[in-house]
Structure 1
Amino acid sequence: MKEKIIERGSWSFKNLPNSWSWCKFVDVCINVTDNKRKLQQKDYERTGLYPVIDQGAEFISGYSNDDGLLHQMTPPFIIFGDHTKCLKYVDFHFIQGADGVKVLVVPHFNSKFVYWALNAIRLPDKGYSRHFRFLKESFVPIAPMQEQHRIVSKIEELFSLLNAGINALERAKANLKRYRASILKAAVEGKLTEEWRAKNPPREPAPKLLERTLTERRRKWEEEQLKKFADKGQTPPKGWRDKYKEPVKPDTTNLPTLPEDWCWATIDQIAFYLHNGLSKKPNQVPPGYRILRINAVRPMYVNLNEVRYYDYPNDDIKSFFIEDGDLLFTRYNGSIELLGVCGMVRNCIHPTLHPDKLIRIKVLLGYPISSYVEFASNNGFSRKHMVSRARTTAGQTGISGTDIREMPIPFCPLNEQKQILEIITERLSLVSNIEELIDKSIQRSSRLRQAILKRAFEGKLIPQDPNDEPASVHLEKIRAERKSNVDKKSKKPPRKKAGTA
């Protein structure tokens, strides 16, 4: 008969120092999970007398005032998330969260030592399945008792230094985020180029540029109308030019004053094309045309690899293929931070469609206006306008084409637009590079944490003391004590039956 393979946690080493011993998990930890006293997540309070501990990532997940739910054992405890594999060390009384929480106590060893050991075990990853079954089949390396205390002290010393470094990196990252925001704010207010502007007068002030843009807008409309008449073999009727719809002007009532030679404009004034995409549900896999997912668009970025596939249709869809320079706005999104954000299409090599949940516009006069509008629409009062227009219908938060048309843009001269784009590109690129370095350092610190634990439980983190009582001796004492307790229970005289002499 084939021997059953037992899945359990593993270690990257097998050999231990002579004074150490491997010990079964069930001989180290006692499962004291209380299946009666536990609180459902829906009953958590934001504040209260007693903390609720569950298997979630947050150390304390909620509170309750019900002292009848307090765990009855004496701390400290080790909490293990059956689904999440999350480990927590709890040295106070708490209320157990419902489902997936395993509460462990360590009666015969240093509980912090065991806690760190459990953090070092590599358990099989079964997704959101249950993992305690693998943990309880595992073995734990046990050091002499005095060495356990010294190892815990060293681990906490090193982790304290590591945490201080991580906190410094996180503060630096937060400062970079504020710096980025200040650059973008200064750019749309004209403060970023204030000194440059004093030395570089505009070749064409923004109001004049806007006039030229409006003239080009009308010319394109007339060109489009004439083509429609020609395609139908018709002669343009009298007064056909009067049907041109003037673009909406900006409502400057609550908008700030801009620098000299700047002016407020709307997307409607500087764009000649604004359309929704295709509404038919695409497929996850080929064949078909590539069509963008809604999450392809992020502020100032379009990820052309975030695609699904649209069945080859019989009808004409050529007007739905995106092109370099197109601006895409998110029409719907569950997150207000990502609703109405804009990204520009760049380096689009493969024919790619856009879906109904993305609104596509084409800006008049091309670069740099298209890049400038991409940047401006995601910041300042332009962004505030979009957020203010968000509305929820049928559980979806969205904006409309009208909201985009009416978006105010702080319009500046072309040479200043180029200068702004050059400055923010340079500075934001520097910020991104520093953030990447910080993220890599944080990731390295996570690996270093595991390396410290590995050395600790190989017995290599601190020197061995030959005077320490070997773990095997301590284990023998525990076994003897357990046997003695069992013998005492078995020797108890039988209880007399009621009514007998």
Structure 2
Amino acid sequence: MKKLSFPTVKLGNFIREVKEKVKSSGVSQDDFTVYGVTNTDGITVTNNKASDDLGNYTVLRENQFAYNPYRVNVGSIGLSLPGTFGAVSPAYVVFETNGQISNEFLLYYLKSSLGINLIKWYGDRGGVRSALRFSDLKKIDFPDITLEQQNKLLIKIKNLDELLCELYKNLSDDKIEILRQSILQQAVEGRLCEQGPNDEPASVLLEKIKAEKERLIAEKKIKKQKLLPPISEEEKPFELPKGWEWCRLGEILYEAPRNGYSPPKVERETNTRVLTLTATTSGTLDLHHYKYIEDTISESSFLWIKQGDVLIQRSNSLDYVGTVCLCDEMITGYIYPDLMMKANVSNEADLHYIVYYLKSPFARQYFKGHATGTSNSMKKITQSVVSEIPVALPPINEQKQIVKKIHELLALNQKMKQELLQARKYASQLMESVLQETFSVQETAKPAQVIEFRPDQTVPKTELLAAARGKIREDTWEHLCKRALEIVGEES
């Protein structure tokens, strides 16, 4: 049982329930605005009436709280604005404070993760649905601090809240993904690194790959591929730097991509597992997603996944068709399914550069644009589509430099994701953090009351989170983007 200790008093000392009914108000029902409550907007005007007769609705006036006893556990509670006059459903609880505590501070408190935990704790009756009656609300533990302290903390919380909102605005999942895509696109267009003057051009590299494949064909280690069509000017999406060459992906693969195989699964554990599509949907190989099948696959079969294999989703929803994943580790016992295909890149090229290229915005759009099917849920790409995608091929030395630069930039990108996750943690624990710091720096004559929580409830650390000290500004979007540009501009 986890515990959180701080001095408290019962909220019932400061609140009283409002039970004034519309029919007893002396005001015509036509003059009442009907309000509802949501967890995002608080108290809002609504047209949802349980009845045309508002007589039993509860009157709502300014500076009063309203909540649905069955929804308050997800933050559906609000404080009415000055000038409010209307009514809420009789199923709602309406209450007000006695002026000894701050209305705004109480609202922040009840909507914080700490407040939600307390609401769940006191509202749980062990039934199918928990509900927080007003009698339960009065039992909630409220920080034993003065009105003056509440107002000071409220200012601090608001300032930190604004800081976190600014961070969310500038450092969002969407913007982080946009930066990642931008990194990959700049890489395949030759805008990440400068080519060395003595680098062997990509045309020479293509000749080496061609010679290697001819040798392997002669040794009967690979099969001869069909001739690929030349690349037209219309297929070239951007200009290449000097020394680069356009080629088809099939020109740098040992063989044409092959589709997988999906025999019926079995319930018992066997030595052979077939991946499911979810194993590669994220773009990285997750071996937790598989099904057992009968162990009838020959040891020499191409179906076995090996280190260095490039897996491509040939069928999925339009958002994921063409998703590329590299098997970058030694594994045994896995084959890939019929809804994927596998390709092997020539050792003469940099495998990681080719994989990054196939993950770039250009390649993703190419696969989406060439997917066919009767519905978006089952679009497919063929082996020919994959073999014929145009590839911007740099000299081999530049391929390696680009991969190194991408690794640096994507590591920074990952750091940004962690900062965003940390910021969300700060936001969820903001009230606890501020309260914990307040009680840790002041001496309290009154002994702390222990509040027990269920094991699945989160408990904050006693120290104030970094956000409350303003350090999070150092890692805003602007700072991280500046560092990204510095990495791009660094000499290799």
Do they fold alike, i.e. is TM over 0.5? yes
Normalised by the shorter chain, which TM-score bucket? 0.5 to 0.7
Q: Which runs of 5+ in 1 are unaligned?
A: 1-9, 35-48, 228-240, 465-501
Query: Judging changes above 3 Å, is the alpha-carbon distance between structure 1 residues 104 and 217 closer, same or farther for their aligned structure 2 residues?
Result: farther
**Residue 377 (1) aligns with residue 358 (2):** yes
Aligned pairs for 1:9-48 (under 5 A) are 12-13=4-5, 16=8, 20-21=9-10, 23=12
Aligned pairs for 1:195-210 (under 5 A) are 196-197=194-195, 199-203=196-200, 205-210=201-206
Q: Which moved more, 1:267-276 or 1:278-287?
A: 278-287
Superposed CA RMSD: 4.8
CA distance in 1, matches of 2:285, 2:77: 43
Question: What are the superposed Cα offsets for residues 268-293 of structure 1, whole Å, 9 maximum, x if unpaired?
Answer: 22221412223235468844534333
Query: Judging changes above 3 Å, is the alpha-carbon distance between structure 1 residues 12 and 292 closer, same or farther for their aligned structure 2 residues?
Result: same
Q: Which moved more, 1:278-287 or 1:314-323?
A: 278-287
CA contact (8 A) 2:246 2:391 kept: yes
Q: 1:159 maps to what in 2?
A: 157
Q: 1:429 maps to what in 2?
A: 411
Percent sequence identity over aligned pairs:
19
Per-residue deviation, 1:324: 1.0
**Residue 440 (1) aligns with residue 422 (2):** yes
CA contact (8 A) 2:263 2:293 kept: no
CA contact (8 A) 1:344 1:374 kept: yes
CA distance in 2, matches of 1:460, 1:339: 54
CA contact (8 A) 1:151 1:462 kept: no
Per-residue deviation, 1:62: 11
**Residue 250 (1) aligns with residue 231 (2):** yes
CA contact (8 A) 1:31 1:102 kept: no
**Residue 265 (1) aligns with residue 247 (2):** yes
CA contact (8 A) 2:248 2:387 kept: yes
CA distance in 1, matches of 2:142, 2:239: 71
Q: Which amino acid aligns with 1:396?
A: S
Match of 1:399 among 353, 356, 380: 380
Match of 2:306 among 302, 323, 345: 323
Question: What secondary structure sits across from 1:386 in the alignment?
Answer: helix
Query: Judging changes above 3 Å, is the alpha-carbon distance between structure 1 residues 385 and 21 closer, same or farther for their aligned structure 2 residues?
Result: closer
CA contact (8 A) 2:271 2:333 kept: no
Per-residue deviation, 1:450: 2.4
CA distance in 1, matches of 2:134, 2:373: 46
**Residue 212 (1) aligns with residue 208 (2):** yes
Aligned pairs for 1:66-215 (under 5 A) are 73-74=59-60, 76-79=64-67, 82=70, 85-90=73-78, 91=80, 103-109=92-98, 111-118=103-110, 119=112, 120-121=114-115, 122=117, 123=120, 130-132=129-131, 137=136, 139-141=139-141, 149-150=147-148, 152-170=150-168, 173-174=171-172, 179-193=179-193, 196-197=194-195, 199-203=196-200, 205-215=201-211
Question: What are the superposed Cα offsets for residues 440-473 of structure 1, whole Å, 9 maximum, x if unpaired?
Answer: 35424533432335678xx889999xxxxxxxxx
Question: What secondary structure sits across from 1:106 in the alignment?
Answer: strand
CA distance in 2, matches of 1:249, 1:223: 27
Alignment length, in residue pairs?
410
Q: 1:358 maps to what in 2?
A: 340
Q: Which runs of 5+ in 2 are unaligned?
A: 23-32, 445-492
Query: Judging changes above 3 Å, is the alpha-carbon distance between structure 1 residues 290 and 140 closer, same or farther for their aligned structure 2 residues?
Result: same
Q: 1:498 maps to what in 2?
A: none
CA distance in 1, matches of 2:206, 2:282: 25
CA contact (8 A) 1:52 1:95 kept: no
CA distance in 2, matches of 1:293, 1:311: 12
Aligned pairs for 1:233-312 (under 5 A) are 245-255=226-236, 256-271=238-253, 272-280=255-263, 282=265, 286-298=269-281, 301-303=284-286, 305-312=287-294
CA distance in 2, matches of 1:62, 1:223: 76
Query: Judging changes above 3 Å, is the alpha-carbon distance between structure 1 residues 380 and 365 closer, same or farther for their aligned structure 2 residues?
Result: same
CA contact (8 A) 1:341 1:378 kept: yes
CA distance in 2, matches of 1:62, 1:340: 45
Q: Which amino acid aligns with 1:257?
A: E
Q: In terms of Rg, which structure is larger?
A: 1
Query: Judging changes above 3 Å, is the alpha-carbon distance between structure 1 residues 385 and 84 closer, same or farther for their aligned structure 2 residues?
Result: farther
Q: Which amino acid aligns with 2:381?
A: S
CA distance in 2, matches of 1:95, 1:340: 55
